[in-house]
């Protein structure tokens, strides 16, 4: 189901059919800000572990 709506003549409607370029469309969030921050942090830790492991491996003789 589409999450996108249009403001039309004082009403909020599903964004179907013809929509003027001047119309304001909006979508409500599917994820919270905290979700993004948590995901970025997890990605950072994963990347960091991979980079440090690679550096250690490259030092082996």
Q: Which chain residues interact with other proteins by CB under 8 A?
A: 2-4, 7, 9-12, 15, 19, 21-34, 36-37, 40-41, 44, 48, 50-52, 55, 58-61
CA–CA dist 4, 25 (Å, integer)? 7
Sign of CA dihedral 7, 9, 12, 15: negative
Report the nearest approach of other proteins to the CB of residue 38 (Å): 10
Report the nearest approach of other proteins to the CB of residue 36 (Å): 4
Alpha-carbon distances of 36 from 8, 32, 40, rounded to whole Å: 31, 7, 6
Report the nearest approach of other proteins to the CB of residue 4 (Å): 5
């Amino acid at each position: 189901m589409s999450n996108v709506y249009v403001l039309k003549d004082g009403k909020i409607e599903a964004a179907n059919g013809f929509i003027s370029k001047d119309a304001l469309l909006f979508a409500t969030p599917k994820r919270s800000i905290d979700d993004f921050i948590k995901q970025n942090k997890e990605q950072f830790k994963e990347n960091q572990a991979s980079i440090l492991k690679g550096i250690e491996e490259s030092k082996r003789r």
